[in-house]
Structure 1
Amino acid sequence: MNTTVERALTLPVLDLGTLDDPTREREFLDDLRAATSEYGFFYLTGHGVPVDLQRRLITVAREFFALPVAEKLSIDKLNSPHYRGYSALGNELTRGKRDEREQIDFGAEREPSTLEADWATLIGPNQWPAALPELRTVIEQWRSEVERVARKLLSAWLVSLGQSPRLLDSVYEPANELIKVVRYPGRTAGQSDQGVGAHKDGGVLTLLFVEPGKAGLQVEKDGEWIDAPPVENAFIVNIGEMLEVATDGVLRATVHRVVAQEGEDDRISVPYFFNPNFDASFPTWELPREYDGLRRGVTRDPQNPIHASYGLNVLKSRVRSHPDVAERHHPHLIGKYSA
């Protein structure tokens, strides 16, 4: 493994800044391909997102979660047919079990769709707390910065797979993003340790920012769980199911979870999901012949079917994770996507 990837930690570390050095570009691309095909997860440094903005994000997140319950529930996700807003502790499910976290979901800011496709229910406006206007300011700045990183990384990813760096331009104009601002409380002995249950991400690319010094994330590798503690000024990056479909399993979306830590200390986590339009479908790409022996096919899991349509793939997750929202606004989807 080249110097771009270090193994001092449990997951590889890649420096995005080396991509700007013509003498090291090939090194970065080779290491990116190796890290994603072997692990599906890696740390990303050299991204250029200002440290001051990282700190402001954590600060404003804590200010929101410290608000009175009534203020947080003023943007209750139950109010939104588009699955946007606040979820109280334990209101989200993974594989039918409660996740011990509270969170806010922000997606691409759009008008509700008039399309008849099931996934069109996901298109619409966000809810923003009137008691904390700074939250919107910081989230929009964060979205702009992290989108820049995601676009650069995705282009490099495509090149590493023998594709045009602009292959996905048409389905990413505009990008279809989701930002979650999450608080994991500490747990007492005997409480469930499911911060988030084991799952795969349903999209293309996820960049996770975790409050420094706060552990909990684990990644599955060869049937065992690897700890993925936060690294200061680094994102934790993972691939979603759409890249697994497109590469016929050369890249495989990795199962991961968050284990609630015992004690009083809580943890702020902000995943950014960089995804295409809901109507995008992902056929299997033609990859260079050197990949022929690496094709593993798409994972077959009766409890988690992977759709080639991004919209349907993400809709299955929303309906399962938030059945209360689906029951209130879209009861006709329960039988189709909650099994």
Structure 2
Amino acid sequence: MEQLPVLNLSDWHGDGRSRQAFISKLADAARKIGFFYLTGHGIELARQQQILQLTKDFFALPMPEKLAVEMTNSPHFRGYTRLQGELTLGRPDLREQFDIMKEEAIHMPSHDLPIWCQLQGPNQWPQNLPQMKSILLRWQQDLAAISVSLLKALAVALEQPETAFDATIGNSPYQHMKLIRYPNSKRHTSAQGVGAHKDPGYLTLVLQDEQSGLEVQTDNGWLSVPPVAGAFVVNIGELLELASNGYLKATNHRVTSPQAGVDRYSCAFFMAAQLNATVPLLPLPEYLARQAQGPASDPLNPLFNQVGQNVLKGRLRSHPDVAKAHYASFADAI
């Protein structure tokens, strides 16, 4: 039975032989399926369980408390999205979620600044979970560090300098995290937890609870990605597809709603280049370049090398209510 490969990040930090074996396995996984399990990342199981419990605690808050930090309050796309409030392929997803990014200063709208600068700003935090801010911001920073290590390893796997992506992430890459609850589909007519899609950044790291639901599209159909205790699920994003001219492929994936009498919880972390960066086209060696067929061309989902433009495109399409509230004069252009 087909299953995702398991990579141990401690091998990347190990001696020459283990490091080379990791690079080889990473190159194979990133090229063939675009997904893998990651162990050896240094995040203790107790901390993972703390994040999942905090996720449950947030969604257990009374609805008025969640709506007090609703995403429609924020032009920066941070905060709570109610059930079926986000769209994938134009259809509502059967999930509720809470989004955060880095805490940043607000860029006021200006003719001198690109519209995507409005993505930068503060997060919203629920009043009755005061510990949430410090725990999640530290978690986000630690996952960013893991992602940067993986990005360096991917550069080496593509026979580039380890620093090939450094100029695009500067002191800190773009960070975006979602706490997610998928309710039992028996309560609803739709089983689309999340519709089929690709992620727009460099890399995504997903922490799952004990419930299955994540599926990856392969040549043989949809492959289930069951939880593995202590492991993150990692996938390649569209920016790496662009940078490698399609040698690496961002893979379609989806989440089906849980069928049992329980809900499913997860935490997804997305890492991209800084918003003001332009994704480089890497000079692959000839034998790799011959296998690169160019990034996928989808007229309904154009890819932009300018990172802020690419991120804002996804945000506007996924959250039409926020787009209407804060980007009404611009949303039709994306």
TM-score bracket relative to the smaller structure: over 0.9
Residue 64 in structure 1 maps to residue 58 in structure 2: yes
How many angstroms apart in 2 are the aligned matches of 1:306 and 1:148? 26
How many angstroms apart in 1 are the aligned matches of 2:257 and 2:4? 20
Aligned to 2:183: 185
Aligned to 1:299: 296
- The answer on whether the counterparts of 2:102 and 2:137 sit within 8 Å (CA) in structure 1 is no
Name which of 23, 36, 43 aligns with 2:37: 43
Using the TM superposition, name which of 15-24 and 311-320 deviates more.
15-24
Aligned to 1:53: 47
Name which of 111, 118, 122 aligns with 1:121: 118
- The answer on whether the counterparts of 1:56 and 1:138 sit within 8 Å (CA) in structure 2 is no
Question: 1:72 Cα shift?
Answer: 0.7
How many angstroms apart in 2 are the aligned matches of 1:9 and 1:137? 39
- Contiguous gaps of at least 5 residues in structure 1: 1-7
Aligned to 1:4: none
Q: Structure 1 pair 110/190, CA: closer, same or farther in 2 (3 Å)?
A: closer
Cα deviation digits, residues 160-206 of structure 1 (max 9, x gap): 11111122222212221001000111111761010000100011111
Question: 1:223 Cα shift?
Answer: 5.9
Q: Partner amino acid for 1:76?
A: E
Q: Secondary structure at the match of 2:329?
A: helix
- The answer on whether the counterparts of 2:2 and 2:223 sit within 8 Å (CA) in structure 1 is no
Residue 83 in structure 1 maps to residue 77 in structure 2: yes
Cα deviation digits, residues 130-156 of structure 1 (max 9, x gap): 111111122022113212211111111
Identity %: 40
Residue 108 in structure 1 maps to residue 99 in structure 2: no
After the TM superposition, which parts of structure 1 deviate over 3 Å for at least 4 consecutive aligned residues?
none
How many angstroms apart in 2 are the aligned matches of 1:209 and 1:158? 24
Aligned to 2:195: 197
Cα deviation digits, residues 46-68 of structure 1 (max 9, x gap): 11101111111111111111010
Q: Structure 1 pair 283/223, CA: closer, same or farther in 2 (3 Å)?
A: farther
Residue 208 in structure 1 maps to residue 202 in structure 2: no
Q: Secondary structure at the match of 1:279?
A: coil
Residue 138 in structure 1 maps to residue 135 in structure 2: yes
Using the TM superposition, name which of 137-146 and 272-281 deviates more.
137-146
Name which of 6, 26, 37 aligns with 2:20: 26
How many angstroms apart in 2 are the aligned matches of 1:121 and 1:144? 22
Output the aligned Cα RMSD: 1.4
Cα deviation digits, residues 221-272 of structure 1 (max 9, x gap): 1261111111110010001111101101100100100011223211111111
Equivalent residues in 2 for 1:222-237, closer than 5 Å: 222=219, 224-237=221-234
Name which of 295, 320, 333 aligns with 1:323: 320
State the TM-score, normalizing by the size of structure 2.
0.95
- The answer on whether the counterparts of 2:183 and 2:262 sit within 8 Å (CA) in structure 1 is yes
Question: 1:9 Cα shift?
Answer: 5.8
Q: Secondary structure at the match of 1:294?
A: coil
How many angstroms apart in 1 are the aligned matches of 2:173 and 2:297? 28
- The answer on whether the counterparts of 2:72 and 2:322 sit within 8 Å (CA) in structure 1 is yes
Aligned to 1:336: 333
Residue 289 in structure 1 maps to residue 283 in structure 2: no
How many angstroms apart in 2 are the aligned matches of 1:44 and 1:263? 27
Q: Partner amino acid for 2:207?
A: F
How many angstroms apart in 2 are the aligned matches of 1:174 and 1:27? 28
State the TM-score, normalizing by the size of structure 1.
0.94
Q: Secondary structure at the match of 1:148?
A: helix
Name which of 256, 264, 267 aligns with 1:267: 264
Using the TM superposition, name which of 317-326 and 107-116 deviates more.
107-116
How many angstroms apart in 1 are the aligned matches of 2:153 and 2:50? 29
Q: Partner amino acid for 1:148?
A: A
Question: 1:277 Cα shift?
Answer: 1.0
